[in-house]
Structure 1
Amino acid sequence: MITNKIKQFYRLFGQDENHALRNFQRYFPEPYTLNEITHDTAEDFVSHNEVANQALLIGVEIGKAVAFQKRQVLLNAKYSTKMGTFAQKKIGHLPQEQLCLALLDAQLNVIGWETVFVGTVSHVQASPREIFQRVLKANAVGFMIVHNHPSGYVMPSKADIVFSQRLATLGQQMDIHLFDSFVVTHSDYWSMSEKKQLKKLSRSNQG
């Protein structure tokens, strides 16, 4: 795979990919040797093809840096009060409905906050497919969803509850847990987990 990527790299520079690959392999016969490169080796390698080889080594360094990056922990969402307050500050004041996704790790840390949909003053059209795609892409253990009510009325509508229960059901089938579904306004929040609205679904499904 690395060999093909190296060839593709030089091909994009309009160069003889096979010749460039042979030169590359003289200096880096095994992939792990890129982790052990010395200053002298790097200078000698670059001298054969200054622009392309320098660009390649910069790309390698960027790849190493990215590999060690982790998602930032925004807060711990173990307690709904803390999560509800956080969500209020994020979207409770907005004039349009938004549906946001809180991505969670195994310790219920929020490792991602993403706006999935933006709707009208009173409606947002949401797709479970889009939500679960984002959860899987982040390799999250579970998630919470949050949407705002610009009207200031914090109680969820029947459609809000049905949609949240649908996500809970799909999550159970995929082993991706929906921990809570929030509605927020500028002054309040509503937790469906607190109100046992998601647990009711779980019991009914098992029956």
Structure 2
Amino acid sequence: MVVEKAQPAGPREKLLTYGAKELSDAELLAIFLRTGKRGVYVVTLAEQLLGHFGSLRRLLSATLEELGAVGGIGVAKYAQLSAIAELGRRYAASWMQDEQPLLNPDMTREFLMSQLSDEQREIFMVIFLDNQHRVIKNSQLFSGTLNHVEVHPREIVREAIKVNAAAVILAHNHPSGHAEPSKADKMITERIINCCQFMNIRVLDHLVIGRGECVSFAERGWI
């Protein structure tokens, strides 16, 4: 007689048996939520949340009020979800810091989108690299309003000299979600390039981050 192998009882058991990659977004989310709500199994609650917000990214960037509108989501679960999102951002930052020379544009794009795509105001970020294009540090140097951030090229150069950077990658977000660079974006990029040239610091790229999209100045041939 052939005895069929019993299936894991839940997401945690499935993870331990098959590995985290085999879990759906809802199953992974259920592990962090830990419990459902009255009459609703935790995986079902996770599926409802994902369905309501449309994606994992939108869910993890939701406010307490937005989550509360779903029903059954209080401060504790909001704290859990916020912690997951922040842990993901910090993991990405740590991974970038520990990686080998930054030669893969996709790696840069994914990292910057994880850091900037959900910001509600414009943030200007700089990745500082050594002469072998290894990451020295990344900094959110300037922050602004919903549609404007004031950038000071000399501050970028000053920070680059402080950490002995040979090159930089620039990035900022558009909270509107549309990543197409503006005339002002092009002008500040030129100013930064000109300022960096005096200290023999290369500007490798400037990436504009929207919601789920990214525009690279280098890929457009503007740098």
TM bucket (normalised to shorter chain) is: 0.5 to 0.7
- Corresponding residue SS for 2:113: helix
* 1:188 aligned partner: 213
- CA distance in structure 2 between the aligned counterparts of 1:164 and 1:103, rounded to whole angstroms: 16
Equivalent of residue 198 in structure 2, options 166, 173, 183: 173
CA-to-aligned-CA distance 1:121-165 (integer Å, 9 cap, x gap): 100001011111111101111111110000011111011011111
Q: What is the identity, as a one-letter code, of the residue corresponding to 2:207?
A: F
Q: What is the identity, as a one-letter code, of the residue corresponding to 2:183?
A: K
Of the structure 1 ranges 122-131 and 169-178, higher mean CA displacement relative to structure 2 is found in 169-178
Q: What is the identity, as a one-letter code, of the residue corresponding to 2:122?
A: E
1:80 aligns with 2:105: yes
* 1:39 aligned partner: none
Matches within 5 A, 1:19-58: none
- CA distance in structure 1 between the aligned counterparts of 2:165 and 2:149, rounded to whole angstroms: 24
* 2:148 aligned partner: 123
- CA distance in structure 1 between the aligned counterparts of 2:207 and 2:123, rounded to whole angstroms: 12
- Corresponding residue SS for 1:174: coil
- CA distance in structure 2 between the aligned counterparts of 1:154 and 1:76, rounded to whole angstroms: 26
- Corresponding residue SS for 1:197: coil
Residue 173 of structure 1 deviates from its aligned partner by 2.4
Structure 1's unaligned 5+ residue stretches are: 1-71, 199-207
Residue 75 of structure 1 deviates from its aligned partner by 6.1
The TM-score, its normalising length taken from structure 1, stands at: 0.58
Q: What is the identity, as a one-letter code, of the residue corresponding to 2:213?
A: D
Residue 76 of structure 1 deviates from its aligned partner by 3.9
- Corresponding residue SS for 1:140: coil
Residue 74 of structure 1 deviates from its aligned partner by 5.2
CA-to-aligned-CA distance 1:82-120 (integer Å, 9 cap, x gap): 211110001111111000110001221222010111100
* 1:91 aligned partner: 116
Q: What is the identity, as a one-letter code, of the residue corresponding to 1:124?
A: V
* 1:10 aligned partner: none
* 2:159 aligned partner: 134
Q: What is the identity, as a one-letter code, of the residue corresponding to 1:159?
A: A
Residue 77 of structure 1 deviates from its aligned partner by 2.7
**Would you identify which runs of 4 or more consecutive aligned residues in structure 1 move more than 4 Å?**
none
- Corresponding residue SS for 2:159: helix
Residue 73 of structure 1 deviates from its aligned partner by 3.5
- Corresponding residue SS for 1:156: coil
Q: What is the identity, as a one-letter code, of the residue corresponding to 1:164?
A: T
Relative to structure 1, is the Cα distance of residues 177 and 135 closer, same or farther in structure 2, using a 3 angstrom cutoff?
same
CA-to-aligned-CA distance 1:13-38 (integer Å, 9 cap, x gap): xxxxxxxxxxxxxxxxxxxxxxxxxx
Residue 180 of structure 1 deviates from its aligned partner by 0.6
Contact 1:80–1:194 (Cα < 8 Å) also in 2: no
- CA distance in structure 2 between the aligned counterparts of 1:102 and 1:73, rounded to whole angstroms: 14
* 2:179 aligned partner: 154
Contact 1:74–1:111 (Cα < 8 Å) also in 2: no
What is the percentage of aligned positions where both structures have the same residue?
Answer: 31
Q: What is the identity, as a one-letter code, of the residue corresponding to 2:124?
A: L
Of the structure 1 ranges 109-118 and 74-83, higher mean CA displacement relative to structure 2 is found in 74-83
- CA distance in structure 2 between the aligned counterparts of 1:123 and 1:174, rounded to whole angstroms: 27
